[in-house]
Chains A and B, each alone.
Chain A
């Protein structure tokens, strides 16, 4: 019984095995058949391609542009494509954003910066089957020249920026081909956080984006961010020039650390070493002493701080202001805040599309501000924090969480994302800060905040060599090291004050983004030196 019992399963096994083998064989046969079929198909297709193609010279990969000829061909911008251009035959150069073949048609989305338009190649009297196939096989992100007929569409094309027209392609030539494998997909890079997770779609993490910045910068969001950033710079320059400021250039390689001495990069300088400027402060002040009255400068600033936070960079663009005033340093505050308000107004009025584009990926509340800017005093801020249950000393500096909390409290009461905090305790400010005339505990210094984060720190500077010496000694600073600085005030110096703003931070906070690396084109931080 046991034998039989033992035999039974083996027979069954054998049977099963043979069954499996059969199946396998069958499958292989099927596979082979499929392969043959495919090959036959391919051959047939090849044959058909070799058959005469009536549209042969209407598509192709054009020779590398080496400036062989200068065509007088007028190229139309994608953003100018509107129903007014309907039924015109136009030329256009753009990137292939996506392509989708569908039987005898191929839909392409052509992109130019943040604008895109739908285009169509369909088998007909202008395009052959082969041409459609060629169009479908153009890799994403390739640059193409296209001749096409502009057509109005019945239904709005929701997925494109040009919603009222589409292009019927008559000729298509590849100018520059992209590699078929992209390191990141543009659609993934602009997908809002969280949305991808739900639908199981990919989002691209920050480092991948930054490693492949060239592609990441092509996204609509990046395009909008850096257009807005350019706007900030432009508005900053225009507003200050109108106010009678002079733009100056300051050296970035300096012999001694301008502030304290920590946080500076050392570079070798022939036989000795030098430092990278961590602020143009000293030079701004020297220009004031040289009677330039009001100056500003836009340039790189270096900080050797090993802090890996969302808002610190080791190199950023500083927008610096310094001006002489008549009697009260509030003249300086008024000038700076008015400049900021003009920038905010300019952005609000002229960059609405950019702001909306960024909001699509990174939703945030619109930036609110008051004119004239709200100015609070440090003691008031402390009282507000105290009321909210924060215990801190009168002469303590605001910690980052307290700063944020204060920002929320101010927003709650005054509904503004931008305000000035005046009269900081003297103890928490640098030695060159002018003390308050009525209370030695405080100083004539101020910080400005956007969405609860500090963007500018400034003060009335001590313009008297003797007082400056005293203050430096009080801070136990080696007088020899700052001799040149103190000396510049010995030959008559007007009372003056100023401050510096980080361009990247302003952009980040205006748009309500959460990482300063998003608003720095090629960011530098302790862990990133490339690209």
Chain B
């Protein structure tokens, strides 16, 4: 006849408050595997310092390996990208000097000279855009501005539109941790999704009329990053590419579009970038319009290569995200 099973009376290890004036010794009576959850753990859940150190070393080696991998990838990108600049994403893992070298090496631009005297308040750039036509180029310029200045980015929906897609609401990235204090920022970038026939930018109501059209707003924003090329011929070239992009690529017929793509192809055959040796507004505008018109995949080879180079620069990713 089997015996009764009796429940333990004591109910597990008894915890007693020990005076702290004595040494602590491991429990000799405890059975292995009962009180220890892992093999190399000691009494009271304390991990052997030797194991800990080993783990830390391994983590450190792994981290270094990842960093190295990222750096090599970044270098590989710069090799394929004609501009000798480093990607936004790898810059953090490399030395801090790359942080200071932004894409645009022109004279350090000063907001006071560009936007007028500081009145001790946030300089807020307000952009009214139609959610039916998200301004991709401005997203790229926004991410470049964020790199240069402390920018407070906010997105609003105007009462004239309803049902704005969630990716349009988060297109300027996550909320800044300091966004509760507007005075801590150098520049405000306020995007308002609104029922407007044409993109519109307002800065100073008193001294400036609203700027209309994505191309013109892009020119304004770009000037906050770098001055226009001092060579007038080059400056005109940039301007003409910007207009071509917005009038013929974005709004033109299929015929016009393919003509522009051919022109781009031949221009990019001679130069790595569209206007001059460096990346310029021309590249940003054309890239975004090619993307928007959906002709990126069917573009000729030089254009394809140039698109790759653009994408290797981190600032172009917001535009791509917005299209998805």
Q: Judge whether A370 and B183 touch: CB under 8 Å.
A: no
Contact bitstring A369-393, B, C-beta under 8 A = 1, else 0:
1111011110110111011100000
Known: A370-B192, A377-B183, A380-B121. A413 touches B158 (CB 8 A): no
Closest chain-B Cβ to A107's Cβ sits at a distance in Å of 42
**Bound CA–CA A137/B206 (angstroms):** 63
Q: Which residues of B contact A377 (CB under 8 A)?
A: 121-122, 182-183
**Bound CA–CA A344/B157 (angstroms):** 13
For A442, the closest partner residue in chain B by CB is B183
Closest chain-B Cβ to A230's Cβ sits at a distance in Å of 22
Closest chain-B Cβ to A325's Cβ sits at a distance in Å of 12
Q: Which residues of A contact B202 (CB under 8 A)?
A: 412-414
Closest chain-A Cβ to B26's Cβ sits at a distance in Å of 43
Known: A376-B182, A413-B202, A414-B190. A369 touches B122 (CB 8 A): no
Q: Judge whether A413 and B205 touch: CB under 8 Å.
A: yes
Q: Judge whether A368 and B206 touch: CB under 8 Å.
A: no
**Bound CA–CA A35/B119 (angstroms):** 86
**Bound CA–CA A414/B119 (angstroms):** 19
Q: Which residues of B contact A384 (CB under 8 A)?
A: 121, 205
B126: CB under 8 A from chain A? Answer: yes
Q: Judge whether B192 and A414 touch: CB under 8 Å.
A: yes
Closest chain-A Cβ to B202's Cβ sits at a distance in Å of 5
A188: CB under 8 A from chain B? Answer: no
Q: Counting chain A CB atoms within 10 Å of each CB, which of B122, B157, B183, B192 scores highest?
A: B183
Known: A383-B119, A383-B120. A388 touches B192 (CB 8 A): no
Q: Judge whether B157 and A380 touch: CB under 8 Å.
A: no
A41: CB under 8 A from chain B? Answer: no
B95: CB under 8 A from chain A? Answer: no
Q: Which residues of A contact B206 (CB under 8 A)?
A: 387-388
**Bound CA–CA A379/B204 (angstroms):** 16
Q: Which residues of A contact B121 (CB under 8 A)?
A: 377, 379-380, 382-384
B77: CB under 8 A from chain A? Answer: no
Q: Judge whether B158 and A379 touch: CB under 8 Å.
A: no
**Bound CA–CA A258/B181 (angstroms):** 31
Q: Judge whether B158 and A368 touch: CB under 8 Å.
A: yes
B34: CB under 8 A from chain A? Answer: no
B20: CB under 8 A from chain A? Answer: no
Contact bitstring B198-213, A, C-beta under 8 A = 1, else 0:
0000101111000000
B160: CB under 8 A from chain A? Answer: yes
Q: Which residues of A contact B154 (CB under 8 A)?
A: 372
Residue from A330, A344, A379, A416 within 8 A of B180 (CB atoms): A330
B194: CB under 8 A from chain A? Answer: yes
Closest chain-B Cβ to A346's Cβ sits at a distance in Å of 12
Give residues of chain A (341-378) contacting chain B, Cβ–Cβ below 8 Å: 344-345, 348, 367-372, 374-377
B156: CB under 8 A from chain A? Answer: yes
Q: Which residues of B contact A427 (CB under 8 A)?
A: none
Closest chain-B Cβ to A377's Cβ sits at a distance in Å of 5
B128: CB under 8 A from chain A? Answer: yes
A328: CB under 8 A from chain B? Answer: yes
Give residues of chain A (294-334) contacting chain B, Cβ–Cβ below 8 Å: 328, 330
Contact bitstring B97-122, A, C-beta under 8 A = 1, else 0:
00000000000000000000001111
Q: Which residues of B contact A376 (CB under 8 A)?
A: 182
Residue from A328, A370, A388 within 8 A of B157 (CB atoms): A370
Q: Judge whether A415 and B192 touch: CB under 8 Å.
A: yes
B27: CB under 8 A from chain A? Answer: no
B159: CB under 8 A from chain A? Answer: yes
Q: Which residues of A contact B158 (CB under 8 A)?
A: 368-370, 415-416
**Bound CA–CA A414/B202 (angstroms):** 8
Q: Judge whether A370 and B156 touch: CB under 8 Å.
A: yes
**Bound CA–CA A52/B149 (angstroms):** 96
A409: CB under 8 A from chain B? Answer: yes
**Bound CA–CA A382/B183 (angstroms):** 13
For B122, the closest partner residue in chain A by CB is A380
Closest chain-B Cβ to A406's Cβ sits at a distance in Å of 11
**Bound CA–CA A409/B206 (angstroms):** 9
Q: Judge whether A414 and B126 touch: CB under 8 Å.
A: yes
Give residues of chain B (174-192) contacting chain A, Cβ–Cβ below 8 Å: 180-183, 190, 192
**Bound CA–CA A374/B157 (angstroms):** 10
Known: A348-B159, A370-B159, A415-B192. A379 touches B205 (CB 8 A): no
Q: Judge whether A413 and B126 touch: CB under 8 Å.
A: yes
For A410, the closest partner residue in chain B by CB is B205
Closest chain-B Cβ to A384's Cβ sits at a distance in Å of 8
For B206, the closest partner residue in chain A by CB is A387
For B204, the closest partner residue in chain A by CB is A387
Closest chain-B Cβ to A418's Cβ sits at a distance in Å of 9
Q: Which residues of B contact A387 (CB under 8 A)?
A: 119, 204, 206-207
Q: Judge whether B160 and A379 touch: CB under 8 Å.
A: no
Give residues of chain B (68-107) contacting chain A, Cβ–Cβ below 8 Å: none
Q: Which residues of A contact B182 (CB under 8 A)?
A: 375-377, 380, 422
**Bound CA–CA A413/B120 (angstroms):** 18
Q: Which residues of B contact A386 (CB under 8 A)?
A: 119
Closest chain-A Cβ to B27's Cβ sits at a distance in Å of 43
Q: Counting chain A CB atoms within 10 Å of each CB, which of B120, B126, B156 scores highest?
A: B156
Q: Which residues of B contact A348 (CB under 8 A)?
A: 159
Closest chain-B Cβ to A332's Cβ sits at a distance in Å of 12
Q: Which residues of A contact B204 (CB under 8 A)?
A: 387
**Bound CA–CA A330/B181 (angstroms):** 10
Q: Which residues of A contact B119 (CB under 8 A)?
A: 383, 386-387
Q: Judge whether A412 and B159 touch: CB under 8 Å.
A: no
For A394, the closest partner residue in chain B by CB is B120
Q: Judge whether B122 and A372 touch: CB under 8 Å.
A: no
Closest chain-B Cβ to A127's Cβ sits at a distance in Å of 52
Closest chain-A Cβ to B165's Cβ sits at a distance in Å of 14
**Bound CA–CA A415/B205 (angstroms):** 12
Q: Which residues of A contact B156 (CB under 8 A)?
A: 370-372, 374
Contact bitstring A222-252, B, C-beta under 8 A = 1, else 0:
0000000000000000000000000000000
* Interface residues of B, Cβ cutoff 8 Å to A: 119-122, 124, 126, 128, 154, 156-160, 180-183, 190, 192, 194, 202, 204-207
Q: List 26 A-B contacts (CB under 8 A).
A: A328-B180, A330-B180, A368-B158, A368-B159, A370-B156, A370-B158, A371-B159, A372-B154, A372-B156, A374-B156, A375-B182, A376-B182, A377-B121, A380-B121, A383-B119, A383-B120, A384-B121, A386-B119, A387-B204, A387-B207, A413-B126, A415-B128, A415-B158, A415-B194, A422-B182, A438-B181
Q: A370-B159, A412-B205, A413-B124 are in contact. List 18 more A-B contacts (CB 8 A).
A: A348-B159, A370-B156, A370-B192, A371-B157, A372-B156, A374-B156, A376-B182, A380-B182, A383-B119, A384-B121, A384-B205, A387-B119, A412-B202, A413-B202, A414-B126, A414-B192, A414-B202, A415-B158
Rank and list the top 5 A-B pairs by shortest CB-CB distance, nearest first: A383-B121, A383-B119, A370-B156, A380-B121, A412-B205
